[in-house]
A and B are shown apart, each in its own frame.
Chain A
Amino acid sequence: MTSSTPPKIQLSDVHKAFGPKVVLDGIDLSVAKGESVVVIGGSGTGKSVMLKCILGLLRPESGSIKVDGEEVVGMSGKDRARVMTKFGMLFQGGALFDSLTVWENVAFGLIQGQKMERTKARDIAIEKLAQVGLAASSGELFPAELSGGMQKRVSLARAIATSPDIIFFDEPTTGLDPIMADVINGLIVKCCKEVGATALSITHDMASARKIADRIAMLYKGKLIWVGPAKDIDHSGNAFVDQFIHGREEGPISMELRA
């Protein structure tokens, strides 16, 4: 990375608390263009909060969040809308709109965000559905008529429909069987490469993290306690990371829970 190319996403000393509960306690993280970074950590460690701060759904108490070198904390109105067009997001539960058909869900950002004509947006939606392995006929169904795996695929198609610069994945494989989880992981890698997007994911599924990450960061008690290449995760030299990735009951994390 040269000095003239700012990171796609840069978090500096980000703090966020809900009342007395400190969730993010000085997060520093940088994601380069085209890179895929996965943040791992246990439930309730603040992974989703971090993502929502970047997306502008939550506002951090202090610290800086830059997207393409532009400060986004406190941004609103047209500036926020402009930055949002760079983002795609796959939500943990899919967050598909119940009242809309599958193709309308996928085309939503094109029709509402980019004011594209419905017929043209429909063609793109069908194309994106094919990209995630769904037939055109599934476009006429409603989300409630789909299985969990199919809903994730539709959600992925929606996330990439506007060809965003940056895609966020919130627990992309939660609730799926291991085979379907691997299929979704494969699709994430494929789609990000095809769109040329930068990816920031959060998960506690290590198989998913290993498959989609260039770099992995571990969040614990509001701090990133380890950041490094995905290939080094098994040799991190960090007892917290070792315990987490092997899913052991014994270790510093459980010891602190017992205290």
Chain B
Amino acid sequence: MTDFLATVGRVFMAFLAHTGRLSAFTATAVSHVVRPPFYPRLILREMIEIGYFSLPVVGLTAVFTGMVLALQSYSGFSRFAAEGAVATVVVLSITRELAPVLAGLMVAGRIGASMAAEIGTMRVTEQIDALTTLSTNPFKYLVAPRILAGTLMLPFLVLVADIIGVFGGYIVGVYKLGFNSASYIARTWEYLMPLDVISGLVKAAVFGFLITLMGCYNGYYSKGGAQGVGAATTNAVVSAAIMILVFNYIITAIFFGK
């Protein structure tokens, strides 16, 4: 019994220590995002890496999600003669939920992992210590540009995913399910409100922040050699994915909770 309590105590203390370290890391990172000096060249490089180079994977995810959604909702809604709602369901699902969450998860796999691996390798090869000895703050040089770029570029990616996802639904709706093109487009716009898109973009910005934060945090505190970097990479993706799902609920509740 004593051993069990000791184990529970150790795990709880480790959790508190981890939470405290993450909170301190977040506060330091955010303070460096808003304080000069800034590194425009690095911010631009990260924006291109996150925004431009993630377009193919996010676009593919969005188009197939929209196509599947149209097929599934048509098949399900036809049971109670509500096929006419397909366009509305597609656009609301994509803009409110699927585009931000799926884009977030895809970017977490692509960017979160890459950031954790890169910064983790820099940690274990003493490159981060070298930055400090060269009068450069690692938070300012490594962390702040990534967090800023992630927070700014995820909304852009999600906006593109919104358009491509709805287009995927349109392709299936018009060319496979036989909807009239003009009426499908009209139904798409009919019930879409600015808040539907805005809530998705807000989610995207939060997810972008979380993905880059977890990538940087896990990389920054990685230990050991290749194994440590590998563990940091896994942790970055898993923790970002979980946080995306948790914050997705929180933001949805804030926007549409009533």
Q: With A55-B132, A55-B133, A57-B132 as given contacts, are A112 and B141 in contact (CB-CB < 8 Å)?
A: yes
Q: Report the stretch among A80-88, A192-200, A211-219 that lies at the interface.
A: A80-88
Best-buried of A56, A81, A88, A95 by chain B (most CB within 10 Å): A95
Say if the beta carbon of A148 comes within 8 Å of chain B: no
Say if the beta carbon of A7 comes within 8 Å of chain B: no
Pair B133/A112 contact, Cβ less than 8 Å: no
Residue of A nearest to B45 (CB): A99
Say if the beta carbon of B135 comes within 8 Å of chain A: yes
Give per-residue flags for B118-131: 1 if the beta carbon is below 8 A from chain A beta carbons, else 0. Answer: 00011001110110
Give the distance in Å from the alpha carbon of A91 to the alpha carbon of B122 in the complex.
Answer: 13
Partner of A91, one of B129, B135, B136, B141: B129
Give the distance in Å from the alpha carbon of A86 to the alpha carbon of B125 in the complex.
Answer: 23
Residue of A nearest to B129 (CB): A57
Say if the beta carbon of B182 comes within 8 Å of chain A: no
Say if the beta carbon of B193 comes within 8 Å of chain A: no
Pair B132/A84 contact, Cβ less than 8 Å: yes
Pair A108/B127 contact, Cβ less than 8 Å: no
Contacts beyond the supplied A57-B133, A97-B130, A162-B134: 17 A-B pairs with Cβ under 8 Å:
A55-B132, A57-B129, A84-B133, A84-B134, A88-B133, A89-B133, A91-B129, A93-B125, A95-B126, A95-B130, A96-B130, A109-B135, A109-B136, A112-B134, A112-B136, A113-B136, A168-B133
Query: What are 12 of the A-B contact pairs (CB < 8 Å)?
Result: A52-B129, A84-B133, A84-B135, A89-B130, A91-B129, A95-B126, A109-B135, A112-B136, A112-B141, A113-B135, A113-B136, A168-B133
Say if the beta carbon of A92 comes within 8 Å of chain B: yes
Residue of A nearest to B134 (CB): A109
Partner of A95, one of B129, B135, B141: B129
Using a Cβ–Cβ cut-off of 8 Å, how many residues does chain B contribute to the interface with A?
Answer: 13
Separation in Å of the A52 CB from the closest CB of chain B? 7
Give the distance in Å from the alpha carbon of A98 to the alpha carbon of B125 in the complex.
Answer: 10
Q: Interface on A for B, CB 8 Å cutoff?
A: 52, 55-57, 81, 84-85, 87-89, 91-93, 95-98, 108-109, 112-114, 158, 162, 168
CB-CB < 8 A to B129: which residues of A? 52, 55, 57, 91, 95
CB-CB < 8 A to B126: which residues of A? 91-93, 95
Give the distance in Å from the alpha carbon of A57 to the alpha carbon of B131 in the complex.
Answer: 11
Separation in Å of the B130 CB from the closest CB of chain A? 4
Best-buried of A55, A89, A114, A158 by chain B (most CB within 10 Å): A89
Give per-residue flags for B180-206: 1 if the beta carbon is below 8 A from chain A beta carbons, else 0. Answer: 000000000000000000000000000
Residue of B nearest to A88 (CB): B133
Give the distance in Å from the alpha carbon of A226 to the alpha carbon of B134 in the complex.
Answer: 32
Pair A113/B132 contact, Cβ less than 8 Å: no
Give the distance in Å from the alpha carbon of A112 to the alpha carbon of B127 in the complex.
Answer: 15
CB-CB < 8 A to A97: which residues of B? 122, 127, 130
Give the distance in Å from the alpha carbon of A9 to the alpha carbon of B54 in the complex.
Answer: 50
Residue of B nearest to A77 (CB): B137
Residue of B nearest to A89 (CB): B133
Best-buried of B121, B127, B130, B141 by chain A (most CB within 10 Å): B130
Would you list which residues of chain B between 39 and 66 have a CB under 8 Å from chain A?
none
Best-buried of B122, B125, B134, B141 by chain A (most CB within 10 Å): B134
Q: Which 9 A-B pairs have the closest CB atoms?
A: A113-B135, A95-B130, A109-B134, A95-B126, A89-B133, A112-B136, A84-B135, A91-B126, A95-B127
Give the distance in Å from the alpha carbon of A57 to the alpha carbon of B126 in the complex.
Answer: 11
Residue of A nearest to B137 (CB): A81
Residue of B nearest to A155 (CB): B130
Separation in Å of the B149 CB from the closest CB of chain A? 15
Pair B127/A85 contact, Cβ less than 8 Å: no
Residue of B nearest to A97 (CB): B127
CB-CB < 8 A to B121: which residues of A? 98
Give the distance in Å from the alpha carbon of A97 to the alpha carbon of B127 in the complex.
Answer: 6
Give the distance in Å from the alpha carbon of A175 to the alpha carbon of B121 in the complex.
Answer: 20
Give the distance in Å from the alpha carbon of A69 to the alpha carbon of B136 in the complex.
Answer: 24
Pair A108/B136 contact, Cβ less than 8 Å: yes
Give the distance in Å from the alpha carbon of A148 to the alpha carbon of B126 in the complex.
Answer: 16
